[in-house]
Amino acid sequence: MSATPRTKAAPVPTLGIPTPPPLPEDVEALLRRLRLPHVRRHAPEVVATAKAQRWEPVEVLRALFTEESAGRERSALATRRATAGFPTGKTFQAWSPEASSIPAPTQQALRTLEWVHRRENLVVCGPSGTGKTFLLEALGQHAVEQGLRVAWFTLEDLGVLLRRHRADDTVTKAIARVLRADLVVVDDIGLLPVSQDAAEGLYRLVDAAYEKRSVAISSNLHPAAFDELMPKTLATATVDRLLHHAHIAQTSGKSVRLSQALAGDGVTPLGGTR
């Protein structure tokens, strides 16, 4: 009779078979041609175990396809993460909700990502060091883990994108490619002088994403003051579209960076323990 159905994908028990015999060459070749890398990797073990434990044939199929499915999900996640281009790799695992000045219910609501599914925008604004970038990155990482696509930009990146594509008139196409992502983040608006290209890039992005995709931005200024950063007509048109369906999360207080630095938590002590 069959072994009890396995609920977890790995590891396959090998019953003391040290190295299971390799697959016949023609089977290997077929699995390569059909692009089933995870089946190919696990099949020798699964086949050996199935033989030793007299599995029902359907158990073999289940074990192999479970491996393929899990393996594909893992690599799709890795690809989504790499494509997003996150700045640091930090996630909610390192986030302390109580260190943020954003009310806990707001943090909780943002973490559900329902706003992304509703194609609403998010504006995080407040002084430097209050966790704006961290929040956007943690939300972005969470979105990627949930199967969503994210694209991370700084305002400067948008300027570069625009310059590169203006030469051959492919800006619209380039923006459309960016908007394959479900959530587009533009981090750090307002810290550096905004170039004409970057301002135009932001406008083009926000305009093309309007009611189609979520845009999340961080800034040390409230968007109502963006006309201090860029030409007034461009700022008005951008902010109008950005804020129509937007959640505003205001961060305040002292810089978490500065508090950590002053507490001596910003560095590992040199030469010994504290």
Ligand X SMILES: Nc1ncnc2c1ncn2[C@@H]1O[C@H](COP(=O)(O)OP(=O)(O)O)[C@@H](O)[C@H]1O
Residues that bind Mg ion (CB under 5 A): 133
Nearest-approach distance from CB 152 to ligand X, in angstroms? 13
For ligand X, the closer CB: 100 or 121: 100
Query: Residue 23 Cβ, how far from Mg ion at the closest point, in Å?
Result: 51
Q: How far is the CB of 126 from Mg ion (least distance, A)?
A: 10
Q: Which is closer to Mg ion, CB of 121 or CB of 133? A: 133
Q: State how far the Cα of 91 lies from the Cα of 135, in Å rounded to an integer.
A: 8
Residue 239 Rama label (left phi>0; alpha psi -120 to 50; beta): alpha
The residues that touch ligand X, with contacts defined as CB under 6 A, are 95-96, 99-100, 128-134, 218, 256-257
Select 27 or 256, whichever has its Cβ closest to ligand X.
256
Of 218 and 238, nearer to Mg ion (C-beta) is: 218
The answer to whether the Cα torsion of 267, 127, 241, 204 is positive or negative is negative
Q: Which helix (H) or strand (E) holds 153?
A: strand 150-154
Which residue in 210, 218, 207, 225 sits closest to 122, CA to CA? 218
Q: Which does residue 130 touch among Mg ion, ligand X, none (CB within 5 to 8 A, set by kind)?
A: ligand X
Q: Minimal distance in Å, beta carbon 260 to Mg ion?
A: 15
Q: How far apart are CA 132 and CA 125, in angstroms?
A: 7
Q: Which does 96 bind (CB under 5 to 8 A by kind): Mg ion, ligand X, none?
A: ligand X
Between 50 and 198, CB nearer to ligand X: 198
**Choosing among ligand X, Mg ion, none, which partner's interface includes residue 66 (Cβ < 5 to 8 Å by kind)?**
none
Q: Say how far apart CA 77 and CA 170 lie, in whole Å.
A: 29
Torsion of CA 185, 122, 143, 129, to 10 degrees: 70
- CB neighbours of 22 closer than 8 A, spacing ≥ 6? 28, 44
User: Which residue, 132 or 142, has its beta carbon nearer to Mg ion?
Assistant: 132
CB of 197 to ligand X, least distance (A): 23
Choose the one of Mg ion, ligand X, none that binds residue 219, judging by a C-beta under 5 to 8 angstroms depending on kind: none
- CB of 131: closest distance to Mg ion in angstroms? 8
Task: Determine contact, residues 248/123, Cβ cutoff 8 Å.
Answer: yes
Helical residues (DSSP H) of 147-219, grouped into ranges: 155-166, 171-178, 196-209
The interface partner of residue 257, options being ligand X, Mg ion, none and the CB cut-off 5 to 8 Å by kind, is ligand X
99 binds, among ligand X, Mg ion, none (CB under 5 to 8 A by kind): ligand X
- Structure tokens of 92? 């909610």
